[in-house]
Amino acid sequence: MPVIIVVATAMLVAVVGIGVPRMDAVQAAGSRIIAIPASTSETAVLAALKAVGIDRVWSSANTVIPLSDFSRIVDVPFAEAELRAGPGDPRRTPLFDELERRLVAVGPDGSTWRLLYLQSSRAHDDVAIADALAGLGTRLASSAPEGTPIQSHWWWAPACGWGLWLILRRPKGDRLHRTLLVCAWLPMLARSSPEAVMLAMVLQSATLLVVRARSARSVRSVRAVLILHAFMVIAMLALDPFSVIYVIAAAPLIGLVLYMRPRLDRFLRRRWIHKAPFFVPLTITGLRSQARQMTIGLAVPVLAVAIFSVLLPAGSRAIDGGAGIRLERSQRLDHIDGRDLMEKHIAYQRALTWGRIGDAVWGQKAFTEAYQYVEKSGTMHRSNGGGQASPGRNGPDPEQNVAMPRQALAILAEGWAFTVASVRPVPRVGE
């Protein structure tokens, strides 16, 4: 048990080592933010990014907010809402200013740049973004870390070392099966992230332990070790949810290896003149010893990957196309309650739409409804109880239901303002 506690502490340090820098680097609304000149069509940029497989992008062109047209409330993109409700328009609320602070950046020459929030932080995505926008002939500034990226072969070093140790360690009799089980998880390395590499190593270890324990008919004896592995799996998936796609891709290979194991044994022993001996361990000492050795050994490559990710954070050499500009944090924004701000905005739009003229007050969720009339048999009849304080009905039309825009709320959670700054180009290796 003391060994398990020490190893668990080491793995917790590794998780924190990866998670804390990642939490500091990732913005509230996205894993990467890029800036383009305001003169560039955001619609064209979104289409170019979608063409290279990057479609989870939030910008003023597709982030909608509720806006009154004085007869109903409609959801319009923020960029269009700014055109409809310019300075001095009664529909303009503090929500416009807060979103503009998070969707606009100032360039080095005082020009205006538009921000786009991307739900990706992989280095090869940065290259794809730069190539896509280069085809449009537009400049690009990114929040991607500077410097030479850690290529995938760096992540393969500890993973391959761990896999070889699992295969070559004793006992020697089942090395072929261990090789197949270890290699079945190698597709995880295609993710090229520290979390995915650590997840692959943990799953390799856990799979071999479960197979060994089932053969010894004593899974419960290594329950504590498997719980530790489960904790690491959950932690890595929480830090990199997209890794689950690679887990799903590798799972059929594991199933195939387990299914073919007895058939492979029969094929290899087809020339034997006697059946293979079947050994039943009299004690679980050997199983526990192997579990302890594998758990202690796992801490070494896990900590190695954590150290690599901290000392050599992933960056991109193609973040600015050689233009010498990048997107940087300029100042901390005052904390706001985005949901409360959005609720006040919606209430104000409702008051403008269904309330009496001039009675709309910012910050008040109740308003006095305007009289509404309908014609019946040639005479006008009041159709509502207007003149009373009301939170505002949406009316009989179901399209009047005002939904809370989640995308705008996510952008409001961003706590920093950004600026496009001129920087010295980062020299490449060998230059």
Q: Are the beta carbons of 327 and 147 closer than 8 angstroms?
A: no
Distance, CA of 308 to CA of 14 (rounded, Å):
11
Distance CA 228, CA 244 (A): 19
> Would you place residue 426 in the very low, low, confident or very high pLDDT band (cuts 50, 70, 90)?
very low
Confidence of residue 215 (pLDDT cuts 50, 70, 90): confident
The whole-angstrom separation of Cα 409 and Cα 29 is 9
Helix (H) or strand (E) holding 142: strand 141-142
Query: What confidence category does residue 72 fall into, taking pLDDT thresholds of 50, 70 and 90?
Result: confident
Distances (CA, A) of 63 to 116, 203, 408: 10, 39, 6
Residue type, 273: I
| pLDDT (tens digit per residue) in 250-267 | 999 999 988 888 888 777
Q: Is the pLDDT score of 393 beyond 50?
A: no
| Backbone conformation region of residue 94, classed left if phi is above 0, alpha if psi is from -120 to 50, else beta | alpha
> Above pLDDT 70, what percent of the chain?
75
Mean pLDDT to the nearest integer, 319-343: 79
Show Cβ contacts of residue 237 under 8 Å, excluding neighbours closer than 6 positions: 195, 199, 243, 244, 247
Average pLDDT over residues 111-125: 79
Lowest pLDDT segment from 77-91, 298-312, 417-431: 417-431
For residues 147 and 357, what is the distance between their CA atoms, to the nearest angstrom? Answer: 58
Looking at the DSSP assignment, which residues form a beta bridge with residue 328? 419
* DSSP-based helix, strand, coil % in the chain, nearest 5: 50, 15, 35
| pLDDT for residue 106 is more than 50 | yes
Tokens of 278: 């079947």
Characterize the bridge pairing of strands 112-118 and 32-37.
antiparallel
Q: What angle do CA 89, 420, 412 make, to 5 degrees?
A: 45
Does residue 417 surpass a pLDDT of 80? yes
Once rounded to an integer, what is the mean pLDDT over residues 270-282?
Answer: 66
Q: How confident is the model at residue 397 (pLDDT cuts 50, 70, 90)?
A: very low
Mean pLDDT check: name the lowest of 19-33, 161-175, 397-411: 19-33
Q: Is the pLDDT of residue 356 over 50?
A: yes
- Report the C-alpha gap between 84 and 405 in whole angstroms: 19
Highest mean pLDDT among 158-172, 284-298, 316-330: 158-172
Whether the per-residue pLDDT at 372 is higher than 90: the answer is: no
Two structure tokens written together for 42:
């955001």
Torsion angles phi and psi, residue 355, rounded to 5 = -90, 175
- Alpha-carbon distances, residue 82 vs 26, 37, 97, 232, 411 (angstroms): 28, 17, 10, 47, 16
Query: pLDDT per residue over 222-238, tens digit each?
Result: 788 888 888 888 888 88
Give the pLDDT score at 145: 60
Annotate 148-160 with three-state secondary structure: CCCCHHHHHHHHH
Asked whether the predicted pLDDT for residue 313 surpasses 70, the reply is: no
Bond prior to 87 in cis (omega within 30° of 0) = no
**More reliable by pLDDT, 87 or 386:** 87
pLDDT at 370: 72
User: pLDDT higher for 10 or 311?
Assistant: 311
Burial per residue of 117-132, b for 16 or more beta-carbon CB atoms within 10 angstroms, e otherwise:
bbbbbbbebbbbbbeb
Q: How many residues does the chain have?
A: 431
Q: How many other C-beta atoms lie within 10 A of the C-beta of residue 161?
A: 14
